[in-house]
Structure 1
Amino acid sequence: MRDDRDDFINLGEIIAVLLEYKWLILAVTFFAVFIGAVVAFVSTPIYRADGLVQVQDSKGPKGGLAALRDVEAVLGENSSVTAELEILRSRMILGRVVERLRLDIRATPDYFPIFGRALARRYNGDQPAAPLLGLGSYAWGGERITVQTLEVPSYLVGLPLTLIAGDNGGFTLYDDQDQPLLDGSVGQPASSADGKTTLFVAELVARPGTHFDLARISQIQAIAALREDLEVRERARQSNVIEAAYSDADRAEAERLLNEVLNAYVRQNVEYRSAEADATLAFLEKQLPELKAQLDTAEAAYNDYRQTRGSVDLTLETQSVLSSIVKVDADVVELQQKRDELRQRFTPEHPQVKAIDSQLGRLRAVRGTLDKDVNRLPDTQQTALRLRRDVEVATALYTNLLNSAQQLRVARAGTVGDVRVIDPAATAPLPVAPRKALILLLSGVLGVLGSLGLVWAIRSLRVVVEDPQTIERELSLPVYATVPDSKDEAVLSRAIARGKTDKGQLLATAHPDDDAMESLRSLRTTLHFALLGAEKGSVLITGPAPGVGKSFISKNLGAVLAQAGKRVMLVDGDLRKGHINKAFGIGRGVGVSDYIMGAASIEQIVKPTGIDNFSLVTTGQIPPNPSELLMHPRFAALLAELEKQCDVLIIDAPPVLAVSDAAIIGRQVGATLLVARAGRHPVRELEQAIKRFDQAGVEVKGFVFNGFDLTRQRHRFGYEGYHYQYKYKA
C-alpha cells in the first residue's frame, strides 16, 4: 500500500540531513565569512563628496535695471535642466578640470598585491614604513609622490611606467619594457636623452628602491575616468536644483575635484552669456558707423536743399504727416528686425511670424495713405518733406541702435550666470563603500546557501542506503536487527588498535546497557527464525565490503547469546586479516589454518574468552592460500565437530565482494547474514553481494543493519525514530 506521506516534503528528513552535515555547513559558512572579512579588510574605502547647483528659470539680466530687459532675447532664453545635466558631464567642462588638475597624469605607489594597500592605509607614521619580509620595492605606508609634468612620446601614452626612488631625492624612470628613460631629482625638470620624455616631480617621499606606478593617459581617457565617478541628477522634479557627487578613495581629492567641476561649470555659464553679448555688441558696433553715415548723408542733403531753395518752412499739416511717416517707418524697421530673428527659428507659417507679417501689412497700408497725402503737397513741400523724413528716420534708428549698444555694454559688464553653487562640495566623514557589515552579512548568507548547495550535490551523488526500510523494500529480504551507532564501541576499538589494553574488552561486557547491545539482544531473540528449518546450527556473518562492523556484530552477538545461557563458539574465518582475538586479549596462536593443515587438534584451537559459555577459535597462522584451505574437507569437518560442542556456532567471514572466502564458507553453515552499514552502500552493492552468494548456491537469510544514527533518525522519521531508544532504555 502506497504511503501518502511520500507526497509531502518531509521536514524531519531535511532537519536530519542538516544535522548530519552540520560541521560541513559550519565550515563552509565560516570560510565564506572569513573571505568576506578579508574582502572588507583589503577593500579601499570610497568617500563621496556632493554639492548643489541651482539653475535659474531665465537667463535675462537680474536686478533693478528694467531698461535692460529689452535685450533679454539677445542674452538667451530659459534653460532646460536636462540640457544643463548634459553640459555638466560634457567634455567641455570635464576637459577643463582635467587640464587644470592634470588628471591625465597618474602617479601612485606600488603596493604589495591584495594586502599591501590595506596595510599602507592603516599606517600612521611620519616616515615611510619599513618593508615587510624584506620586500623593499613595495610601498608599505607613508609614501607620497606629486608629479606636475609628464610628457611622453605617443607610443608611451597609456602604457605603465615605473619610477624607482633613489638616494637624496633622486629617481629613475623606466618604460613598460623596464628600459631606463631618464634620471632626475625632486624639484628639478628632467628630460630623456632624445628630449621626447620630460618629467617634473614636485614631491617624493619614499625609501630608496621604492617603486611608483606612473602613466600618461590621453585626455579622452582621463575625462572618461572622471565621468565614471561623477554623478549628476536633478534633486527633485522641476526643482531646477542639480545634485552633483563624486566618489574617490581620497576624501580631500573627492572634494577638490567636485569643487573644480562645479566652478568650471559656473565659469562656462558666465562665459557663454558674455560671449552672446559680445557677439551681439560686435554686430551693433558694425552697424553704427553705417547708420551714422546714412544720417550724415541725409542731413547734408536736407541742408543743401534748404540753402538752394532758401529757408523752407513746413506747414503744420506737413509736419504732422512727417511725424506719422517717421513713426511708421521706425515701426516697420523694428518689426522687420523681429521677423528676421523669428525666421531663424520658425517657418513663415508660424503664428508669431504671421502676426508680424499682418502688422507689417497694416503699417505699409498706412504708409501708402501717407504717401498719397504727400503727393497732394506742392513740389517744394514734397522734396523738403522727403529730405526731412530721411533725416528723422536715420536719426531715430541711429539713436535706438546707440542706446541698445550702450545697454549691452552695461549688461556685459554686469553679466552673471544662470547657475549658482548653493552648497559647495563636502565629504561625509565615513566612507560610502565598502559597507563592511553588509559584506559580512552577505558572505554569511552566501556561505549558508553555498553549503546547502554542496550538501545537495553530495546527497545527489551519494545514492546509499540510509535506513533498513530501503533494504526490505528494494531487496525483499528481512532486516533481523537494526543496531544503533555506538560511541563507546568506537572508543574501545581505538584503544585496542593503539594497544592501550592487553586484556581486550567487548561492548557487551564493558557497557551492557548500550543501545547497540539492546539491539543485539533483539537479534538473539529472532535468530532462531534465521535457523528455522536449517540442518546446521551455525551462522555465517559477513558483509559486502570492509568496515561495515561484521566483526563487531559477531563477537558481541556471541557474548549476548552466552550471557543468555547458550553455549557459543565464535570462529574467526577471515584467514587473511582476522583480528577478533584482539578484542578478547588473546594471541592468534594456533587456529583454523593449523587444524586444516593437521598441525593442531580441536582441543588446541578452542580457547576460552573469559566469558562463561563463550569460546573462540582464532585464525591461526595466516596462510598464503586461504581460499584453498577453506575448500579442504577438514574445514567442513571442523565446523561439524564444533557444532556438536555448542548450541550456536558463529563464523566471522571476510567481505563477500572482496574475496570468495565468504561464499565458500556459506555452503557449510545453516544460515548466512549480511551486515550492512547505514550510509555506506548503494543498493546495487547489496544486490551484487546477494548475487555473489546465489552464484555459489548460498541463500542469504537476511540483514543486520549496523551504524544506525538514532539522533538523526528522530528528526528524519518523527515519532518512528524514537521506538529504538524507547525500547532499549525501557
Structure 2
Amino acid sequence: MVSKQENLNNSSSDEINLSKIIGLLLDEKWLIVMVTSVFVVLGVAYAILATPIYKADALIQVEEKTDGGFSSLVGDMGDMFASESTAMTEIELITSRMILGQTVDKFHLTTVVKPDYFPVVGKGLARLMDEEEHLDVSQFDIPKYAKDMAHQVVITDPAKQTYKLVRDDGKVILEGKVGEREESQDGYQILVSSMEATKGFKFDISKRTELDAINWVNQNLNAAEKGKQTGVIKITYLDSDPDKAKAILNDIAQNYFLQNVERDSAEAEQSIKFLQKQLPQVKGKLNKSEDKLNDYRQKKESVDLSLEAQSALKTMVDIESQLNELTFKEADISKKYTKDHPAYKALLDKRQTLLEEKAKVNKKVQNLPETQREVLRMKRDVEVDQQIYVQLLNKIQELNIVKAGTVGNVRIIDNAETYLRPVSPKKFMIVIILTLMGGMLSVGIVLLKAILNKGVESPDDIEAIGLSVYATVPKSNLQTSLLDRRYAKDKKLKLLSEIDPTDLSVEALRGLRTSLHFAMMEAENNIVMISGSTPGIGKSFVSANFSAICAHADKRVVLVDADMRKGTVNRFFGVRNGAGLSDYLSGKEPMDNIINTSEVENLDVIHHGQIPPNPSELLMHARFKELMDHLSQQYDLVIVDTPPVLAVTDASIVGRLAGTTLMVTRFGVNTVKDIDLAWGRFKQAGIDVKGVVFNGAEKKSENYYYYEYSSDH
C-alpha cells in the first residue's frame, strides 16, 4: 500500500510539473509567437536573397588493364605498362594540384572579382531585380608591395567600355578599356575581357596565390566512386554560375584524361629510348663474335661440328635465350613485388634450374676435341648475340605499337552537365529549420526566465513555510494605468477603491477586512502594522486602499505612514505639505496638527512628514508610544505603514506596539527565502506575524489564484 501511494504521489508530481511547463508556455505565447515569427521572416528572407548554387556532374570510368589487346600482342612486355589503378588512387589524382592547377590557369581563378553590393542583402536584391553586374578579368598582376592593399575597378563609361583601377589609398593606378591589356609603370597589369555594369559601379578585385585558388576549387569539387569496386567515378562541381560550373568540370575531366594517356605513353617512350641506346652495343658485340668465328675457321681451314656438338650448341643457345627472357621479366616484376613474393621466387627458381642445365651442357662440351670445343664456343656466342639483337629489334617495334595505340585506362562516360535547378539553398528546409530554431529559442527563453525567476507565484509556497495567506490581491490593470498616468503627468494618485469599488483587487481587500476582523478578536489592541520584506511590492497601495475599505464599513480609521524615508501614502490622499509624523516625534508639532482629514469619510491620515536623519531613533522615542495609545483610543482601527523589515529596523520597532502584524509579498518578486528571512526578523524582535497579503497575483495558465466574479451592468 505504501509503494502504491508513493507511485501515485510521484505520478501526481510529474503531472503538476508538466502542467506548470505548459502553463508557462501558454502565458508567454505572444513572446513565443513573436520570436518564432522573426525567425520565420529571417528564414524566408535568406531563402529568397541567398545566392543560388548550381551543381554540374560528370562520370569517368577507370578500367583495369588486362592481358588482352596490345598486351596480348606484345606478350610479357605489355605487363610492364599495365597500370592497375584503384578508384581511390584516381580520385586523389583528380583532386591533385597537377590537374587542378591547369584549370586554375585556364580560367584565371587566381584573380577574384566581386561586385561591391550593399552588405548582406545587396546581391540578392540585384539578382531578384535582374540588375546583376558582371566583370570578367583575364589577367591581373600586381607588384609585391601592393599585395596587402585593396583594389577596385570603377566603371567610368559603360557605353565606351572604359574603367579605372583604384587602390584603397584613393590613387588611380591606371585607366583602361575592355579587351585591351593595360600596364602601369610600377608593375600593374590588367586585361578586362568583358563587363556589364552601370556607370560608377565598383568591383572589388584581388589576387590570391595559385595554391589558395586550387584549395578553393577543391572545396567546391567532389569525387566519389559510384558503388563498390565499380571503377566508375562521379565528379561534381558547385558554382553560382551554372555555365562556369559546367566549363570548369569539363576542363578538370579532360585534364585528368589527358594526363592518364600521357602517363602510359611516357612509360613506353622511356623504354624505347633505353633499348635504342643498347642496340648499337649489342650490334657491335655480334659483329665481333662473327668476325672471330670466321677468322678461326679460316685458320683451321673450315671446321664442321659433329652431331653431338651441334646438339650441345642448340641446347646452350636455348638456355641463354631463356635466361635473357628471365632478365626482362625480372626487371618488370621487381617493380611490383619483393623477392619474398611467390611470383618473384618462382622466377628465381626457374633461373637457378636453367643455370644448372647450362652447367651440365658445359660439362659435356669439355669432352669434345679442342677444335670442336672452340668452334662450339664461338658459334654459341654468335647465336646468342644474334638472338639478343633480334629480340631488341622486336621489342622496339612492339613498344612503338604500344606507344601509338595508347589510350590510357580512363574513359569519360558522361561530359559535365549542370542541373537546371540550384542545389542550394534548400529554401523549404531553411524555413523549417529556422522556424524550429525560433520556437526552441523562444521556449528556452521562457523556461530560462522561469528558472531565473525565483519569485513566489503561488500562495501554497508561502503557506508551506508556515505562514497563513489572508488575502490574494490580483493585479489590477486599472491601477497600472493610474500609476502610468500619475508618473507621466505628475497628477494626484487616486485610490482604486474609490474609482472602481468592483475591481477584483478591491474585492480581495474586502476579503482581507473580513479575515482581519476575526484575527483581531484576540489582539492586544486595534493597531495593525503592514510591512514587507523588500521595497516595490505594493505595500503602500495595500495600506491606503485597505484603510479606505475599512472606513466604508462605518469605522473610524486612521492611516499612519511610518516610512519616514520613502513614504508614499500621502500621494494617495493629496497631502503634500504640512506637519507629519517626523515633525511630531521630533517635538516640532503637537499631535493634533499632524492628523489630516482625507476625502474618504471616516478616514484620517498622518503622513511621514519631513525626512529626518534618524528615523529609527525617532520611532523609539516615548512620543511614538503616546501617539499610538492616543490613536488606539480615538479610532476603531489604526493602520501603520512601515518600511521593509529587511532594509531597516523601523518595522521591528513599530511592531512591538501593534496588536496585529501583516506582511505584504508580491507575485513573482519576493522569494520564499526573502519571506522566511523577514519572518525570522520579526520573530527575533518578538513580533508575531498573523498572516500574509499576496499582492499583484496574475492569472496564469498553469494555475488560477483567484476567480472572476462580476455582474453585468
Q: TM-score, normalised by structure 1?
A: 0.78
Paired AA for residue 215 in structure 2: A
- Post-superposition offset of 1:236: 2.4
1:75 and 2:57 are equivalent in the alignment: no
Q: State the number of aligned residues.
A: 690
Structure 1 residues 495-504 or 550-559, which shifts more?
495-504
Paired amino acid for 2:99: I
> Does the 8 A contact of 2:467 with 2:692 survive in 1?
yes
Question: Residue 22 of structure 2: which of 12, 15, 26 is its match?
Answer: 15
Aligned: 1:100 with 2:106? yes
Instruction: Write the distance in 1 (CA, Å) between the matches of 2:535 and 2:214.
Output: 71
1:85 pairs with 2:83: no
Pair 1:571-2:559 in alignment = yes
1:356/1:551 CA distance change after superposition, 3 Å: closer
Q: Tell me: CA distance 1:685–1:381, structure 2 relative to 1, closer, same or farther (3 Å).
A: closer
1:615 paired with 2:637, answer no
Contact 2:558–2:606 (CA under 8 A) maintained in structure 1 = no
The correspondence for 1:425, drawn from 411, 416, 426, is 416
Matched residues in 2 for 1:25 and 1:19: separation? 9
1:118 aligns with 2:110: no
SS of aligned partner of 1:207: coil
In structure 2, C-alpha distance between the alignment counterparts of 1:81 and 1:59, rounded to whole Å: 16
Matched, 1:266 2:257: yes
The corresponding residue for 1:172 is: 164
Go from structure 1 to structure 2 and tell me whether the alpha carbon gap of 1:559 and 1:605 turns closer, same or farther (over 3 Å shift). closer
Tell me how far 1:300 sits from its aligned partner.
5.3
Q: Is residue 2:142 matched to residue 1:152? A: yes
> Structure 1 residues 503, 285: CA separation in 2 closer, same or farther (over 3 Å shift)?
closer
Q: Distance in 2 between matches of 1:59 and 1:228?
A: 35
Structure 2 CA distance for partners of 1:20 and 1:509, relative to 1, 3 Å: same
CA distance in 2, matches of 1:685, 1:350: 86
Shift of 1:264: 1.0
Matching residue's letter, 2:56: A
Identical counterparts, % of pairs: 36
- Residue 470 of structure 1 deviates from its aligned partner by 3.9
Note the C-alpha offset of 1:593: 4.9
Change (3 A) 1:539 1:163: same
**Deviation larger for 274-283 or 42-51:** 42-51
Equivalent residue, structure 2, for 1:128: none
CA distance in 2, matches of 1:159, 1:50: 37
Return closer, same or farther for 1:225/1:491 CA change in 2, 3 Å cut-off. Answer: closer
**Bigger Cα displacement from structure 2, 695-704 vs 498-507:** 498-507
**Residue 58 in 1 paired to residue 40 in 2?**
no
How far off is 1:405 after superposition?
1.8
Tell me the distance in 1 between the aligned counterparts of 2:264 and 2:188: 40
- The aligned amino acid for 1:55 is V
* Residue 289 of structure 2 is aligned to residue 289 of structure 1: no
Partner of 1:241: 232
Indicate if the aligned counterparts of 1:571 and 1:616 stay in contact, CA closer than 8 A. yes
Q: 2:184 aligns with which of 192, 210, 234?
A: 192
- Cα offset, 1:248, TM superposition: 2.7
In the TM superposition, residue 375 of structure 1 has moved relative to its aligned partner by 6.2
- 1:686 CA drift (Å): 4.5
Residue in 2 aligned with 1:675? Answer: 664
Looking at structure 2, the residues matched to 346 and 662 of structure 1 have their Cα atoms a distance apart, in angstroms, of 99
CA distance in 1, matches of 2:102, 2:68: 27
Q: What SS is found at the alignment partner of 1:421?
A: strand
- After TM superposition, give the deviation of residue 293 of structure 1 in Å: 3.9
CA-based RMSD: 4.6
| 8 A contact 1:144–1:204 mirrored in 2 | yes
* Residue matched to 1:130: none
SS at match of 1:75: coil
Unaligned runs of 5+ in 2: none
Q: How far is 1:273 from its partner? A: 0.2
Alignment of 1:576-587 (within 5 A): 576-578=567-569
Structure 1 residues 368, 664: CA separation in 2 closer, same or farther (over 3 Å shift)? closer
Q: Residue 131 of structure 1 corresponds to which residue in structure 2?
A: none
- 1:461-610 mapped onto 2 (5 Å cutoff): 461-474=452-465, 476-487=466-477, 490=480, 506-507=496-497, 510=500, 512=502, 515-517=504-506, 519-545=508-534, 547-554=536-543, 556-557=545-546, 566-569=554-557, 571=559, 573=561, 576-578=567-569, 593=580, 606=597, 609=600
- Do the aligned partners of 2:166 and 2:173 also contact (CA within 8 Å) in 1? yes
Q: Take 1:318 and 1:178, find their aligned partners in 2: how far apart are those partners? A: 98
Deviations 1:83-136 (A, max 9, x none): 2222222222222222222222222223333223333333414xxxxxxxxxxx
The one-letter code of the counterpart of 2:519 is A
**CA pair 558-303 structure 1, distance change in 2 beyond 3 A:** same
Q: Which residue of 2 aligns with 1:183?
A: 175
Equivalent AA in structure 1 for residue 136 of structure 2? T
Shift of 1:43: 4.2
For residues 342-395 of structure 1, the C-alpha deviation after alignment (integer angstroms, 9 at most, x for no partner) is 445555555444433443344345445555666666777666655555554444
Query: What 5-or-longer segments of structure 1 have no aligned partner?
Result: 126-141, 715-720
Task: Give the letter aligned to residue 241 of structure 2.
Answer: D
- Maintained 8 Å contact 1:49/1:425: yes
Distance 1:647 1:712, change over 3 A: farther
Cα distance in structure 1, aligned partners of 2:506 and 2:401: 110
